[in-house]
Amino acid sequence: MGTWQLTGIIFGIGVALGGGLLFHHVRHWKQRTEERLAAIRQAVAEKSAAERAAAEQETAEKIAIARVAAERMAAKRAMMEKAVAEKAAAEKAAVEQAIAEWAAAEQAEAERVQLRRATEERREAEEREGRLRAVEEAIAEWVETEREGSRLAAPPTVAAPSRLNWDKPTYTRIEAIHQQVRLTAAVVEKEVQELDYIKNRIQAGVDFLPMEFRQTIDEWKAGKIMRRSTLDDIKLKFRYKAYSVEDGYELLYLYNQWLSQQRQKLRVFVRLLGTEVDLSESIQAAIERAELREQEKHLEMDVDVIFTLRDIRAIVEKLFSVEVILKDLEEVCRKRTDQIIAPSWEARGSSR
């Protein structure tokens, strides 16, 4: 073997050994690098886990603190609500007690009125015919007195009437009845006006109260008035204001009696004009019969009777208007009672 061949073999062996050492070194370096990277990743993961655990613990502590604060606030709110509820219950009990006392008083008064009404109705039933006869006798006596006065004042001979006869009016029986009808018409007209005025006055108080309540609530919310008062205080105040509105039930009862008396008086007038009136017959039907009876006389028809019957019919129409006003008055009285017992603004006020 030559020198060059031996040198080539030795060089090849050296290169192989060097390459093997280099490969071993590179692999060892790569392994250590991977181990360092794995250690770094593990450290980062452990740090992240620790930070996450710390954050979760901090969040849990904050949640626990917030829960404790919320429980304290809820307990405080519950105590306040309990106090408010107890106060509202006490005020409600006071209002209900006042309403119960008022209702008991109203019931007792209604029973007394009913008893008095029954007594008066029995007495009126016994005295009705007596009053009618008294009215007829009074009118007849007045007419006869006027006739007697006219006869005595007349001169014995046919001569010019004296000054006294011109000044003193003379009446026939029909004219006397007609005058009484006119006086009754004037009384009815006056009573209609007074009743309508009273009804309007009560209705104004009843209708104005809800508007005043809403205005008071708006000003109370704006802090302009009654700053230390609660909503229940305002409601109670307006219930008492509703109680202070004028009560019209007694007036309603009295006017119903008055209406019955006026109709009975008109029946007397029709009877005095010569037409019998059945109690089961309406006054309008009696007037129509009287007019027809008088018109059938033709030339002997008394015009004064016709005019008197027309005035009686006008009074009947006025009494119809009284009935309408009384119905309105009854509705107003019912609204007043509702405002005391169950006000219409109660639900709206509570929801505000």
Asked whether residue 46 is assigned to any structural domain, the reply reads no
Q: Is the Cβ–Cβ distance between 242 and 343 less than 8 Å?
A: yes
Asked whether residue 332 is assigned to any structural domain, the reply reads yes
Asked whether residue 14 is assigned to any structural domain, the reply reads no
Segments in the chain forming alpha helices (H): 3-153, 163-167, 173-221, 231-244, 249-272, 283-295, 303-341, 346-351
Give one word for 223, left, alpha or beta, with left for phi > 0 and alpha for psi -120 to 50.
Answer: left
pLDDT at 130: 67
Asked whether residue 44 is assigned to any structural domain, the reply reads no
Asked whether residue 55 is assigned to any structural domain, the reply reads no
Q: Is the Cβ–Cβ distance between 215 and 309 less than 8 Å?
A: no
Predicted structure pTM score: 0.47
Residues 6+ apart with CB under 8 A from 164: 153
pLDDT at 92: 75
Q: What angle do CA 161, 167, 173 make, to 5 degrees?
A: 90
Full domain range(s) for residue 76: 70-153+161-351
Would you state the structure tokens that stand for residue 283, as one six-digit string?
Answer: 């006054």
d(CA 348, CA 132): 55
pLDDT at 245: 53
pLDDT at 189: 92
Residues 6+ apart with CB under 8 A from 308: 174, 177, 178, 181, 269, 273
Asked whether residue 190 is assigned to any structural domain, the reply reads yes
Asked whether residue 112 is assigned to any structural domain, the reply reads yes
Q: Is the Cβ–Cβ distance between 329 and 246 less than 8 Å?
A: no
Q: Per residue of the chain (352 residues), what is the pLDDT tens digit?
A: 567 777 777 777 877 777 778 787 888 888 888 888 888 888 888 888 888 888 888 888 889 898 888 888 888 888 888 888 888 788 777 777 776 776 677 677 777 877 887 777 777 767 766 655 666 666 666 656 655 655 544 444 333 344 434 344 555 778 888 888 899 999 999 988 988 888 887 787 777 667 777 777 777 777 777 777 777 777 666 666 665 555 677 778 888 888 888 988 888 888 888 888 887 788 888 888 888 888 887 777 778 888 988 999 999 999 999 999 989 888 888 877 777 666 665 654 444 4
Residues 6+ apart with CB under 8 A from 146: 170, 171, 176
Asked whether residue 76 is assigned to any structural domain, the reply reads yes
d(CA 78, CA 61): 25
* Number of domains comprising the chain: 1
pLDDT at 250: 77
